[in-house]
Amino acid sequence: MIVDTGEEFVEAAYGTRLSVPGSRDPERRIRLHHRMHKRLDDVRFRFLPMHVAMEGFLLLQFGGPPVAWQEWSQHALHSGTAPRTETWHHGSGIDGLDEAMRRFEIHDGQCGVAVYIGDALASVFATPHPDDFRALYPALLDETYGELIARYAGHGDAVSDMEVRFDESAIRDLADIRRQAAAHTESWRRFHDDVMTADLFADRHVREIRAAGDFVLRRFTPTFTQTAECHIGEEIVDYDTGQVAYLKTFRLSQTQIRRGRLLTVLGDCGWRLSDAAARLRVTPEQFGIQLDRAGFGHLLKRHVLDGFRHRARR
Amino acid sequence: MTDTLGDLVACDDILMFANAAVTATGARDFHDDAATRALSLDFLHEYMRVNYRRLYAASLALDVNDHNAGLMIAGLLATRPDGEAHPDETALIMAALRRMTPPRVYRLFRRLRGSRVNNRRTRAVIRDWLAGRPLALDAVKYRTGLKVAVRHAHLSLPEELARFLFGDHRRPFTDPLLNDWWRAHYDQRAIYRLPFTVAEGFAARHGIPRDRFLAGIEDRLTGLERLRLRDTRTRHGLSNADLSQAPLQRICAYVLSLTTAQRRDRRAELSSALRTAAARIVAGRRLPGTVVAVLDDSYSSLGSPQRRNRPLAVALAAHHILAAWAEDYRGLWLSRSRDPLLVTPRGASGIGGRVIDALELRPDHLIIVSDGWDNSPPGLAKAVLGAWRRRIDVARQTAVVHLNPGYDPRRYDVRRLADGVPTIGIRDAADIPALVELAGFAEGRRGMAELHAHLDLRVARLLGRGHDDRSAALPPPRTTRPDGRARPDLGHRPHGPAAAGETRSPDPAVPSRTRRTLGRGLLRR
């Protein structure tokens, strides 16, 4: 979350933090200078733009080679994968998202929303209280979305509604109609939870960041064992009941998934090139080229990469 | 029925157009911006004008709103009437112009000038309309509009008006209103004899305190200005006239502009005004049987900043009219609010669920007032109403009608809830009694002959050939010929060759006119 204190700098928590009253750890705060998408002109809370969280997030995850294997460049040894830049699309640049958000009629008591763009789950956002949701709902437009989602938004027409259909042969009176309407709502809810959001929690690596009272703040990343649909995000849940008090997710694009997968494999193999290649069932040369294509060419020493390229060409 | 396929298509097109012309405006709406609507409307008007020019002109006699009437007139005047044209096309245009508010008409004239439509008929229409206007008032109140119109129609004005509009203002005028305008530059007392909108500018110029100005100008306020200034007057410690004199839908819009706390504080005053205004519309009529209304107060009934709360105001007005009109009435709001005075646009549109609630009461009439975006869950209302019609109420004992205040530019029509349920565009809730009575007959398919008969009846009424209260409400033609005879009502003018001596008029639709001075001697050609 971002807190604008009305001073010269806007301060952001390094990801969402959870603390008990009275305790503070100021060294984990960052000051934002140029990274703000939009100047905050009034004193108010806003959620951290996802890309700030994201880049730091990937940095924490992928710190660089722990052992100085000879293939890695000086840069990789000193700075890990940094500087890492990812391209994101700002919500206002996604075709039709602003209109869809303006037209959406917030339900009474609604605390969260799953944003689908072209029937693809772009983000899930949940808050503890309906009033929080109403207040923070417009901030969804200030969020960043992956490249994939931006492409989907540009494609074609509106997705058609899932319309209610009754089995009219079974209808004899109004009670039947009411029953079928309720059954439809229930089956739609099940379909949504089981099918539409199936990949959200399917395959993730959860790290508990901090606990406060009954609640715990957790961040999750995909394990990248599957490549279908990967989400990263953070959540605050009740420790005992598992009930979600805050949730924010972000869908990675295919390129980001490929990069994440390569880095995860590298990390698992202690950044040993030959092991990582064996894990992915490719030759070290092919793995090196994959790294290069994923934008990590600078991590390898120049002559090593050139050697890979030369051998791959033959 | 001997209708051909072409007739059926024409029939559908006309009904679609009638719905569009009643509901569509140039302003932004909840679901679409102004540009989308303008694009859609322009196409629809052109399509109708090219394909059904005769019926298109005749639909000027329906309750189309001023925005669409303006578009229709502009389109008709810009194109040459061909063999298919309505014999009374120009008369219909004149009658429609007389129904429109003067600012709208002047806006139309400006539009004609902007699109360089300046044929003989256009000039004649402008001249004839101006002949029925108090020109001194228009010169003061709509100065630019009148100027544009006079220039565009090549009219020459009497010396004093011409000097007022185009010449120098150094000498006083003999006309009292023009003279007051002249004096108001120097004399604060003269301000209070001017129309409010003009006086307001002078008051600012003289630095008159707002409360003193509002107290002084009270007699010159029009009904709507009085309503608009209510809160300002209260703020300045001035009393207001009785609210119930205003039209019902305006009162509803006013109520919705207040905060819930204010509405609670003034509950007695507001409810009695709403009841009185509704009773005035119903005028003692009674609708037998039980009536249940499903009224949309979802977030989309907010409308747009340009037309704030309009769909909700229609629903609120409908609630009060039905309460006064029906013997046994229940209003079901989507938000499940039990207090209609406190409704606010909020929440999702669960129309389907409320329709089930309504049908459980076994009403004789089910009336749904909504923009037709049934989204919680999508399509439930359609499924419920379809199943009800096909499986339960096969004998059609419940008459269902959907009244929609919003135009959907993608369909060139109002948005429908379900097949088999007539959806009718609604502009003013005061039309509800007529629409509900009509709906029973609209549920079956209308034939072309029936449609023609209906349109002919409406045209006859508009042109003052039938017996109708609406035509009685029209101001009688105010102009007389210099020889003292009343100017013949254009509507009665037989269709045929131009009057003798009129050799320059090849177009029979152009009303014949001598070159002598017309209309109170103010306009010369």
B369 and B270 together in one domain? yes
B278 and B405 together in one domain? yes
Q: What is the pLDDT of residues B279-317, one digit of tens each?
A: 999 998 899 999 999 999 999 999 998 889 999 999 999
Which of A105, A237, A172, A247 is closest to B373 using CA atoms?
A105
Split into its structural domains, chain B has a count of: 2
> Taken in order B92, B95, B96, B102, is the CA torsion positive or negative?
positive
Decide which of A44 and A298 is more confident: A298
Alpha-carbon span B524 to B153, nearest angstrom? 11
B306 and B345 together in one domain? yes
Helix (H, G, I), strand (E, B) or coil at B172: coil
Alpha-carbon span B232 to A190, nearest angstrom? 54
In a domain, B1, yes or no: no
Q: Do A106 and B299 touch (CB under 8 A)?
A: yes
Contacts 24+ apart (CB under 8 A), B493-498: B493/B91, B495/B87, B495/B88
Given the DSSP bridges, would you call strands A215-222 and A204-212 parallel, antiparallel or unpaired? Answer: antiparallel
Which of A121, A152, A150, A126 is closest to A230 using CA atoms?
A121
Q: Do A163 and B384 touch (CB under 8 A)?
A: no
Q: Given this model, what pLDDT does residue A59 score?
A: 57
B326 and B401 together in one domain? yes
Q: Given this model, what pLDDT does residue A200 score?
A: 81
Mean confidence (pLDDT) of chain A: 77
The stretches in chain B having pLDDT less than 70 are 1-2, 437-446, 466-525
What is the percentage of chain A residues whose pLDDT exceeds 70? 77
Alpha-carbon span B223 to A215, nearest angstrom? 61
Q: Given this model, what pLDDT does residue A227 score?
A: 59
Alpha-carbon span A160 to B333, nearest angstrom? 27
Alpha-carbon span A163 to A197, nearest angstrom? 19
Tokens of B31: 């679901």
Q: Do B380 and A188 touch (CB under 8 A)?
A: no
* Domain at B406, CATH number: 3.40.50
- State how far residue A27 is from chain B, nearest Cα, in angstroms: 43
B204 and B299 together in one domain? no
Q: Given this model, what pLDDT does residue B484 score?
A: 36
B349 and B328 together in one domain? yes
* Chain B residues 339-378 with a CB less than 8 Å from chain A: 346-349, 352-353, 356, 359-360, 375-378
Q: Do A163 and B379 touch (CB under 8 A)?
A: yes
What is the average pLDDT across A229-233?
A: 83
Show which of B386, B416, B444 is a domain's final residue.
Answer: B444
What is the average pLDDT across A144-166?
A: 80
Residue ranges making up the domain that contains B439: 251-444
Task: Tell me chain B's radius of gyration from C-alpha atoms.
Answer: 25
Alpha-carbon span B131 to B146, nearest angstrom? 12
B225 and B307 together in one domain? no
B362 and B306 together in one domain? yes
Decide which of A288 and B490 is more confident: A288
Q: Do A166 and B387 touch (CB under 8 A)?
A: yes
Nearest CA in chain B to A163: B379
Residues of chain B with Cβ-Cβ distance to A172 below 8 Å are 391-392
Q: Given this model, what pLDDT does residue A224 score?
A: 78
B294 and B393 together in one domain? yes
Q: What is the pLDDT of residues A181-215, one digit of tens each?
A: 999 999 989 998 888 888 887 777 787 877 778 88
Residue A303 has pLDDT above 70, yes or no: yes
- For residue B311, say if its preceding peptide bond is cis, omega within 30 degrees of 0: no
Q: Do B356 and A181 touch (CB under 8 A)?
A: yes
Q: Given this model, what pLDDT does residue B277 score?
A: 95
In a domain, B224, yes or no: yes
A191-215 burial string, b = 16+ CB within 10 Å, else e? eeeeeebebbeebbeeeeeeeeeeb
Residue A226 has pLDDT above 60, yes or no: yes
Residue A103 has pLDDT above 60, yes or no: yes
B440 and B419 together in one domain? yes
Interface A-B: count of C-beta contacts within 8 A: 74
Residue A28 has pLDDT above 50, yes or no: no
Q: Which residues contact B52 (CB under 8 A, 6 or more apart)?
A: B10, B13, B14
In a domain, B333, yes or no: yes
Interface test with A, best of B343, B354, B380 (most A CBs within 10 A): B380
In a domain, B366, yes or no: yes
Which of B77, B21, B69, B12 is closest to B44 using CA atoms?
B21
- State how far residue A192 is from chain B, nearest Cα, in angstroms: 13
Show which of B241, B259, B292 is a domain's final residue.
Answer: B241
The secondary structure element, H or E, covering residue A124 is strand A120-126
In a domain, B96, yes or no: no
In a domain, B312, yes or no: yes
Counts of helices then strands in chain B (DSSP H, E): 26, 7
In a domain, B118, yes or no: no
Nearest CA in chain A to B29: A103
Angle between helical axes of B66-78 and B34-51 (0-180°, round to 10): 50
Q: Does A9 touch chain B if contact means CB atoms closer than 8 Å?
A: no
Q: What is the pLDDT of residues A45-92, one digit of tens each?
A: 344 445 555 555 555 556 677 777 888 888 777 776 655 566 778 888
Q: Does B420 touch chain A if contact means CB atoms closer than 8 Å?
A: no
Contacts 24+ apart (CB under 8 A), B77-85: B77/B112, B77/B117, B77/B119, B77/B121, B77/B122, B77/B125, B78/B112, B78/B115, B78/B117, B79/B49, B81/B53, B81/B507, B81/B509, B82/B53, B84/B53, B84/B54, B85/B53, B85/B54, B85/B57, B85/B509
Alpha-carbon span B120 to A231, nearest angstrom? 69
Alpha-carbon span B372 to A60, nearest angstrom? 50
Show which of B444, B476, B506 is a domain's final residue.
Answer: B444
Q: Given this model, what pLDDT does residue B163 score?
A: 95
Q: Which residues contact A115 (CB under 8 A, 6 or more apart)?
A: A97, A121, A122, A123, A124, A125, A140
Task: Tell me chain A's radius of gyration from C-alpha atoms.
Answer: 23
Per-residue confidence at A270, pLDDT binned at 50, 70, 90? Answer: confident
Q: Does A181 touch chain B if contact means CB atoms closer than 8 Å?
A: yes
Tokens of A37: 């998408």
In a domain, B271, yes or no: yes
Residues of chain A with Cβ-Cβ distance to B363 below 8 Å are none
Which among B359, B377, B390 has the least Cβ separation from residue A185? B377
Which of B379, B340, B384, B390 is closest to B366 using CA atoms?
B384
State the ipTM, two decimals: 0.77
B319 and B410 together in one domain? yes
The residue type found at A156 is G
B271 and B218 together in one domain? no
Q: How many residues does chain B have?
A: 525
Which of B285, B276, B272 is closest to B432 using CA atoms?
B285
CB B524 within 8 A of CB B517: yes
Which of B462, B470, B496 is closest to B94 using CA atoms?
B462
